[in-house]
Amino acid sequence: MAEKEARARPQSRATYRRFASFATRWRDNDQYGHMNNAVYYELFDSAVNKFLIETSILDMAGANTVFLVASSGCNYFDEVAYPSEVEIGLSVSRLGSSAVTYQLGLFIAGAERTAATGTFIHVNVDTKTKRPCAIDDSIRAKFADLVVGSAIDTH
């Protein structure tokens, strides 16, 4: 018999190592009066890419490798709607040889618990072949501040 998956639960701010702030927009609301689920993914993606740009991991002009999303997911706990200020918490739960798994939390500004949590798996690929390649040591070091627990694979 398969092991039962743990039910997703809201997370505290202590779960995350870095935060990025965003304002919701009028167009983010759907016909039900709350933020459309696709917008959560946009905010998660923006927070990850903000980190990658600020740490110079993402070099859009001339890098030989780039991180592409291979998998993503989201769990929702509380409604968010325009107008709201939100904060996206970011941590790394696994740093493999060619992939990184981010844990993301969407907080209504100032809240102590997440309104939603997400997961992104980025794979480092060669820009020409689009095949996975190893994350070099200088880039791995830049992820160090985001790592929670023993998330780093040594092989």
Model confidence over 29-79: pLDDT tens digits?
A: 999 999 999 999 999 999 999 999 999 999 878 889 999 999 999 999 999
Please give the pLDDT value at position 155.
Answer: 46
Give all domains of the chain, ordered by start, each with its CATH number: 13-146 (3.10.129.10)
- Record the pTM: 0.90
Instruction: Let me know: does 66 contact 130? Beta carbons within 8 Å.
Output: no
Preceding amide of 83 cis, omega within 30:
yes
